[in-house]
């Protein structure tokens, strides 16, 4: 499986500010995915980050709130904009395994606390 590195691993943010999370993969991947895990909850897909095109957002998530960049096949960023305490979550980057197996691998996550 790919090695996925996320930065920051955790941060404490003030209400109304924005924070950008970085995801670096040690191999080239066509698709990268961003998930959110709210405290004590399950994981929910935010968007699919495609290299060379705009991200595709899931229902309930919008580009103005969660802008995503995908400048190359090994890197993506997710920005959480105009944060509120409800945005306190773990944000996880994930990539598919090799071959069309359906496998999905996750980074360690970025734990954001919004005060």
Where along the sequence are the contacts to other proteins (CB under 8 A)? 1, 4, 31, 33, 41-45, 48, 58, 92, 94, 96, 100-109, 111
Gap between the Cα atoms of 85 and 16, Å rounded: 10
Angle 63-68-73 from CA coordinates, rounded to 5°:
145
Gap between the Cα atoms of 110 and 5, Å rounded: 10
Q: Considering the complex, what minimum distance in angstroms separates the CB of residue 89 from other proteins?
A: 13
Burial label, 12 (beta-carbon count in 10 A; 0-12, 13-18, 19+)? exposed
Q: Considering the complex, what minimum distance in angstroms separates the CB of residue 100 from other proteins?
A: 7
Q: Which of 62, 28, 32, 65 is nearest to 49 (CA)?
A: 32
The residue among 13 and 43 lying less far from other proteins, judged by its C-beta, is 43
Written as six digits, the tokens of 112 are 């954001």
Q: Considering the complex, what minimum distance in angstroms separates the CB of residue 8 from other proteins?
A: 14
The residue among 4 and 25 lying less far from other proteins, judged by its C-beta, is 4
The residue among 14 and 102 lying less far from other proteins, judged by its C-beta, is 102
Q: Considering the complex, what minimum distance in angstroms separates the CB of residue 102 from other proteins?
A: 3
């Amino acid at each position: 499986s790919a090695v996925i590195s996320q930065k920051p691993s955790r941060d404490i943010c003030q209400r109304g500010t924005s924070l950008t999370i970085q995801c670096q993969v040690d191999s080239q991947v066509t698709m990268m995915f961003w998930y959110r895990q709210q405290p004590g909850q399950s994981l929910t897909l935010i968007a699919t980050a495609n290299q060379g095109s705009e991200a595709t957002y899931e229902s309930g998530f919008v580009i103005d709130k969660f802008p995503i960049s995908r400048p190359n096949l090994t890197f993506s960023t997710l920005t959480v904009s105009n944060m509120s305490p409800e945005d306190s979550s773990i944000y996880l980057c994930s990539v598919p395994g090799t071959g069309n197996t359906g496998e999905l691998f996750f980074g360690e996550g970025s734990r954001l606390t919004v005060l």
